[in-house]
Structure 1
Amino acid sequence: MGGRYRIKGDKYPRMRRPRRRGRLVAVTVASAAAVGLIGWGTLQLIDVFTGGGDASAAPRADCGTRATPSATASAPAALPEPGKVTVNVFNATTRSGLAKQTADELKKRGFKIGDVGNATKEYDKKVKGTALLLGPAASLNTSLPVLATQLGTAERRTDAARKNATVDLIIGDKFRELTKKADADKALTALANPKPTPGASKNAC
């Protein structure tokens, strides 16, 4: 060729293919996504096997060992049946016949009757309330509560010097009669089968 298109020199121009920048960008993005996905999966596996340090999971770890209040744990000692409670009935008032009358009614209700008569000088005309229930220290949570179901307003006391298991019912000035039998029976049933204490914590497991 001649003229202004004449090729001079001993080198020829090299023809290069145009660079495909779009493919390079796509490869870079895909690589970054793959790395991110692998990292996320690794973290998930760590969480599964270690618990992930989640604070909300901490209480569950000791859930099985958490103490739960129960009626059984705070239940009183085994209560005797009326037939196993021996009651001495004494009259500390000026009204005659109360000791025998009360003793007979208690016997009908299943209690064993011991001594019946007037109160000793220590208590005679000195019991201002309905009655005084007196027994050994061991009777405080056994025999005395059972007897108290028959006369709920009576005062209860223990006598550390008493050697036997009998309990005394000392009739006071405000005594009129024993609790109605139906009500006394209900009180006995409730005493033998206490309900759980309200407000006990619930197991969240």
Structure 2
Amino acid sequence: MSMLTPSGMGGKYRVTGNAYPRMRRPRRRGRILAAVVASVVVLSLFGWGALQLVDVFGGGDGDTKANAAPLDKPSCRPVPAPTRARPLGPLPQPTGVTLNVLNATSRGGLAKTTADALAGRGFKVARFGNAPDGYDQKVTQSALLVAGPAGEAAAREAGTQVAGSTVRIDPHRKDKTVDLLIGNAFATLATPAQAAAARVVAANPPPPKPVCAPVTTPAAKGGARRPGA
């Protein structure tokens, strides 16, 4: 019996030789783990390739944020301002303007005092009194001047006497008479120097500003459309 054979062991369990046998871990488990890792890598590459093919054939260029343009984005399209039927021409002198001075405020006696002051500056005052119900205490600015197309130049001349006033053209009026409705913001008439400066601006009005009209843009190619679009 060899000196390496444990006591009491013999027969087929007898160990011979001059060294102990080495016990090694089975290699099957390591092969299985390597196969699983390789399978995961292959599937990942396959999935990435499939996504690239879908993106190419779907019209994308790889930049989803760049292609996802907003639908129906509003933009500004200038709309020409309406032109006058006839040129405005030079403003008339105060003696060529006939006014109806109407008080649209709750302050009593304002129409008469304003009418007297305007008459002193050369304007013709046809009448003065309270504003009609449609304007009574509804004029928020200093004054509102209402005239027909034929009286627009006269209305702008009268507007030079009240700072902050506005002109409204009534297409149904045929005469040149101007209604001067005194508003809640009225304090006093402009000084002669202020009226002269305002007359230069009124005689040379700036060009009208373009009007912004909403415009919709078509949906981006390949993008989703809203329901009903």
Alignment TM-score, normalising by the size of structure 1: 0.54
> Tell me, what secondary structure is at the counterpart of 1:157?
strand
> Tell me, what secondary structure is at the counterpart of 2:180?
strand
Gaps of at least 5 residues in structure 1 are 1-74, 198-205
Tell me the equivalent position of 1:95: 107
Q: CA deviation at 1:168?
A: 0.7
> Tell me, what secondary structure is at the counterpart of 1:122?
coil
Gaps of at least 5 residues in structure 2 are 1-86, 208-229
CA contact (8 A) 2:147 2:179 kept: yes
Cα deviation 1:18-56 (Å, max 9, x = unaligned): xxxxxxxxxxxxxxxxxxxxxxxxxxxxxxxxxxxxxxx
Query: Of residues 129, 132, 143 in structure 1, which corresponds to 2:154?
Result: 143
Tell me the equivalent position of 2:219: none
1:113 aligns with 2:156: no
* Distance in 1 of aligned mates of 2:151 and 2:163: 16
1:134 aligns with 2:146: yes
Letter in 2 for 1:179: A
* Distance in 2 of aligned mates of 1:78 and 1:189: 10
Query: Of residues 134, 143, 146 in structure 2, which corresponds to 1:122?
Result: 134
Tell me the equivalent position of 2:194: 183
Tell me the equivalent position of 2:173: 162
1:174 aligns with 2:185: yes
CA contact (8 A) 2:149 2:174 kept: no
Distance 1:163 1:179, change over 3 A: same
Q: CA deviation at 1:79?
A: 2.0
Distance 1:91 1:101, change over 3 A: same
CA contact (8 A) 2:142 2:163 kept: no
Higher helix share: 1
Distance 1:138 1:164, change over 3 A: closer
* Stretch moving more, 109-118 or 183-192: 183-192
Q: How many pairs align?
A: 121
Identity of aligned residues (%): 44
* Distance in 1 of aligned mates of 2:144 and 2:160: 13
Letter in 2 for 1:176: A
Tell me the equivalent position of 1:23: none
Cα deviation 1:151-202 (Å, max 9, x = unaligned): 131121011121221001101111111111222134335656x5xx9xxxxx
Name segments (4+ residues, structure 1) moved above 6 Å.
none
Tell me the equivalent position of 1:82: 94
> Tell me, what secondary structure is at the counterpart of 1:168?
strand
Q: CA deviation at 1:131?
A: 1.2
Distance 1:166 1:127, change over 3 A: same
> Tell me, what secondary structure is at the counterpart of 1:139?
helix
Letter in 2 for 1:121: D
Tell me the equivalent position of 2:164: 153
Alignment TM-score, normalising by the size of structure 2: 0.48
Letter in 1 for 2:155: L
RMSD across aligned positions (CA)? 2.3
Cα deviation 1:112-149 (Å, max 9, x = unaligned): 11110000011011111111110011223x11221111
